[in-house]
Amino acid sequence: MKRFVRRSLLFALPLILVLFFFELFLRKMDTSYKIKREQVASAGRDAEVLILGNSHAARLDPREFSQNAFNLAQVNQSLYYDKRIALKYLDQMKKLKYVLISVDFHSLYFSDEGDRNIWTYYGYGIDYKDPVPFPEKVSYLAGYKPKFLLEFMKRSLTGKYKVIRGLELEEAADLSQPIVKGFVPYTDTSNLSDTYTRERADFFNKIVRTSDERKEILADLDGFIADLKARNIVPILITLPCYAPYRGLLDKKVLEQNRADILALSKKYGVSYWDYFTMSLSPDCYLNCDHLNAKGSVIVSDTLSRDLERLDQVRGGESLSVR
Amino acid sequence: MLFNSLGFAIFLPIVFIIYWLTNNKLILQNVILLAASCFFYACWDPRFLLLLLFSILLDYFSALKIAETEAGGKRLFWLWLSISINLGFLMVFKYYNFFAGSFASAAGQLGWYVDVWTLKVILPVGISFYTFHGLSYIIDVYKRRIAPERNFVDYALFVSFFPLLVAGPIERATHLLPQIKKPRVFEYKNAIDGLRQILWGLFKKIVIADSCASYVNFIFNDPGSYSGSSHVLAAVFFAVQIYCDFSGYSDIALGTARLLGIDLLRNFAFPYFSRDIAEFWRRWHISLSSWFRDYVYIPLGGSRGGRGKTIRNVFIIFLISGLWHGANWTFVFWGLLNALYILPSVFFKTNRDHLDIVAQGKMLPSIREFFSMAITFALTVFAWIFFRSDNLASAFVFIKKIFSRSLFSMPSTAYLNVSFILPLAAFFVIEWMGREEQYAIAKLEIKWPKPVRYAAYYALFFYVIYYSSGVAQQFIYFQF
């Protein structure tokens, strides 16, 4: 028995040391969540415009806005988290005038971010409906999948991430530039393959068709808008552009339902809905079928900025603007 | 508490240490194991414990009643009381909604609209397994193969021993009870062997089965939407997934039991290296197949009553086997398909042609053996399509898609992790090399020098950690 215990411990010792090293590495690692949290608590305090949403809205560049903007959007971030993250920092953002809430094809049909629930928890300390399990709360090693851990280590060791520090980013992130005002810069690459476009549309169509969350998410969003209005902050609902052939593959009934739902909210609270979904952009503005690249990001951010300026000018009359 | 969870990784060492601190005192050993088993089971839902306790009490007292009388009528009464209540629970929890729904649907086809009452209950984990434990015990006592167990703790442990409680192997009282009755003495070699088997089980489950699962789910959840080649790949991956999932579970169960000084029945013997379907069924889920053989097929007359009776018995066995797996017509169809597969060999008495191990003592199989294995594998893969599909309509859509033009196109690579090909290939090679052992890496310590052996263990560990997703994935057979 003693021999067994001794040998088992000896065998396990290198593993325990490696695991301990991994835990330390993960705790010290900078993620885009951590950086955004740090930035929103400093630079974000002076923001007049707050951008929320998933990876579509994450492409909106605050530097292109004439107003002081800050981007808190994140890959796969659901409206559930948009609301809770924003509410956590709103009190500190004394100059905030507008909150841009990105509502895309599937936004009203999902709240669970999967793997990213725990990343969001580590970043902002916000739990999902089913709280994060205890082992994952206390150990980053239990929370991050080993696959991600090794990917982080690989990226860290290659030295590519010296400037940009968020390690869990998509491949198209521009590693030569830092994260500024919560914005992760992206490269100008473009991949609009038919197969990927079809698979992506299939993926989202499946999400919306199998979801039963729409009513709950709409009610949550309704509460968020009411909350913002009560704080004298103007919420603006936006839908960002997608590549035309991809749009054609999305479930039309869902698109109609989305528009009806958003317009109903817009009418109820007298808030603007700016629909850029069918905005005319050349294919080289897209990274892929539903994401803008650097070029597209500049164009759409600039358009949004100008629309905000126009709204700023007519505000006071509380215009209801639906594009 | 899943075997591949952090909870079990904490639970097992604690039980192991407390258990062996008992200094081989039998009563203490059994009480500790029983307490650990109750805790293990209660982790799913403490309410399930009551049902388990009722089942244990029923069989324990029925067996004593059977043994205390010689009167055939009384013995038969207690036997049938136990069998009917045990199967009654199984029927209510597992099959009531299925049969009620099927009845309503059939009535609807005839124009009668029946509003059936359905149960909203959770299927207690492992009910199919511990019910079969109890049934084998009570039948063995009735048949006077064994004496009834008078020590309640020992009997309760026989039914609820945590490594086998939720997904087998389905033990026999004749095999497990004698081990429970004797104090276990710690043996270094056994413990190391147990750890090795656990490691191999984890590798099969976490690295192979769970990796296959993402692609399998992707295609099976939307049958007909992808190319025929994608469907073929998904069906093959499901065959690999279900084998690695269930045999991986069995390896962890057997390894865990061995750590505690107990040998459980072997459940898998490299079934995909079978040369015909009969051999496959001797190597797949052995504890269930032999249970059906001993407690259903042979009492029905087996192959002794002429061809007609043999065919009937084969169909009954596979029909029950299908239904045992779940309340769905897909399982029934899967069972019947396997009955059709096996029938020619029963008919021509070739079902015991391959009792040995394929290419025993050789590195490679002969061409004939290779093709026999390939055909057997293809047949099982085809049957698995029904097993995995949500319903029969989906299964037929799936099969129709396979036999379409797109069979010759490149399969979809979405949800296919290319880096997984290396461990998958290594897995098949290791399984082939180790097919003469109890499990693939059983003789690693004898065959390989120490540094290479340790490197192999660390490599397996690395893969297990690398592929573990943080959240433990449920074993497929927990639903049965």
Chain A residue with minimum CA distance to B24: A1
CB contact under 8 A, B470 and A14: no
Say which of B225, B457, B466 has its CB closest to residue A150.
B466
| Inter-chain touch B222–A202, beta carbons under 8 Å | yes
Q: Are B338 and B383 in contact (CB under 8 A)?
A: yes
Count CB neighbours of A137 within 10 A: 16
CA distance B40 to chain A (A): 18
**Is B133 marked active-site?**
no
Which of A147, A196, A204 would best serve as a mutation to test chain B binding (most B beta carbons within 10 A)?
Answer: A147
**By percentage, how much of chain A surpasses pLDDT 70?**
93
Distance of alpha carbon B292 from alpha carbon B369, whole angstroms: 28
The tokens for B308 are: 């007609």
* Separation between Cα atoms, residue B241 and residue B424, nearest integer Å: 11
Query: What's phi and psi for A292, nearest 5 deg?
Result: -80, 150
Per the CB < 8 Å rule, is B465 touching A146? yes
In 3D space, the residue among A204, A277, A208 whose CA is nearest the CA of residue A244 turns out to be: A277
Residue environment code for A43-74, b if the CB has 16+ CB neighbours within 10 A, otherwise e? ebeebbbbbbbbbbbbbbbbebbeebbbbbbb
Residue type, B431: E
The token duo for A323 is 């594009």
pLDDT of residue B214: 87
Q: Which residue of B lies nearest to A148 if distances are taken between CA atoms?
A: B466
| Chain A to chain B Cβ contacts (< 8 Å) | 41
From the list A69, A15, A130, the residue with the least C-alpha distance to B461 is A15
- Burial of B100 by CB count in 10 Å (0-12 exposed, 13-18 middle, 19+ buried)? middle
C-alpha distance from B465 to closest chain A C-alpha (Å): 6
User: Which two structure tokens, joined as six digits, stand for A307?
Assistant: 């629309």
Query: What digits encode the pLDDT tens for the residues A52-87?
Result: 999 999 999 999 999 999 999 999 999 999 999 999
- DSSP reduced 3-state for B261: coil
Is the CB of residue A17 less than 8 Å away from at least one CB of chain B? Answer: no
- Nearest 5°: the CA angle A261, A267, A270 is 130
Give the pair of three-digit tokens for residue B64. Answer: 């004593």
Residue of A233, A231, A221, A240 whose CA lies nearest to A315 = A233
Per-residue pLDDT of chain B (480 residues; tens, 9 = 90+): 788 887 898 999 999 999 999 988 999 999 999 999 999 999 988 888 999 999 999 999 999 999 998 888 899 999 999 999 999 988 888 777 777 777 777 777 777 766 666 656 666 778 889 999 999 999 999 999 999 999 999 999 999 999 999 887 999 999 999 999 999 999 999 999 999 999 999 999 999 999 899 899 989 988 888 889 999 999 999 999 999 999 999 999 999 999 999 999 999 999 999 999 999 999 999 999 999 999 999 999 988 888 888 899 999 999 999 988 877 899 999 999 999 999 998 888 888 888 899 989 898 999 999 999 999 999 999 999 999 999 999 999 999 999 988 888 888 777 777 778 889 999 999 999 999 999 999 987 777 888 888 899 999 988 888 787 655 566 665 555
Q: How, if at all, do strands A49-52 and A272-275 pair?
A: unpaired
Q: According to the CATH classification, is domain A47-113+171-314 in 3.40.50.1110?
A: yes
Given a contact cutoff of 8 angstroms between Cβ atoms, the answer to whether A215 and A96 are in contact is no
Domain ranges in chain B are: 25-183, 189-479
Cβ–Cβ contact A14 with B under 8 A: yes
Among the partner-chain residues B191, B454, B470, the one whose CB lies closest to the CB of A143 is B470
Residue A152 Cα, gap to closest chain B Cα (Å): 13
The residue of chain A nearest to residue B417, with distances taken between CA atoms, is A147
Residue A204: both structure tokens together = 């989202």
- Tell me how crowded residue B317 is: count the other CB atoms within 10 A of its CB: 22
Separation CA B390–CA B325 (nearest Å): 13
**Which residue of chain A is at minimal alpha-carbon distance from B461?**
A15
Q: What number of CA atoms fall less than 13 Å from residue B333's CA on the CB side?
A: 18
| A16 near B CB under 8 A | no
Q: Which residues of B touch A (CB under 8 A)?
A: 6, 20, 186, 188, 191-192, 195, 221-222, 225, 412, 414, 454, 457-458, 461, 465-471
Which DSSP symbol is given to A235? E
d(CA A251, CA A109): 13
State the Cα–Cα distance between residues A273 and B55, nearest whole angstrom: 62
Query: Which chain A positions have a beta carbon within 8 Å of B21's beta carbon?
Result: none
Q: Closest approach of chain B CAs to the CA of A318, in angstroms?
A: 47
With CB atoms and an 8 Å threshold, state whether A146 touches B457. Answer: no
Nearest to A4 among B191, B221, B468 (CB): B191
Closest chain A residue by Cα to residue B13: A5
Shortest CA distance to A104 belongs to which of A59, A171, A61, A38?
A59
pLDDT value, residue B469: 61
Using an 8 Å CB-CB cutoff, list chain A residues near B4: none
Distance CA A130, CA B217 (A): 24
Under an 8 A CB cutoff, do A8 and B195 touch?
Answer: yes
Are B173 and B154 a contacting pair, CB within 8 Å? no
Does B470 contact A8 at a Cβ distance shorter than 8 Å?
no
Q: Give the residues across from A99 on adjacent strands.
A: A50, A235
Closest residue in chain B to residue A203, using alpha carbons only: B218
Distance from CA of A113 to the nearest CA of B (A): 14
The dihedral formed by the CA atoms of B130, B133, B139 and B145, expressed in degrees to the nearest 10:
-160
Element (DSSP H or E) covering residue B291: helix B286-292
A residues 121-180 closer than 8 Å to B (CB): 133, 135-136, 142-147, 150
Q: Are A144 and A27 in contact (CB under 8 A)?
A: no
Instruction: Choose the closest CB to B466 out of A4, A14, A146.
Output: A146
Helix (H) or strand (E) segment spanning residue A273: strand A272-275
Q: How far is B208 from chain A (nearest CA, A)?
A: 15
Write phi, then psi, for A234 (nearest 5 degrees). Answer: -95, 115
Nearest Cα residue to B76 out of B15, B11, B141? B141
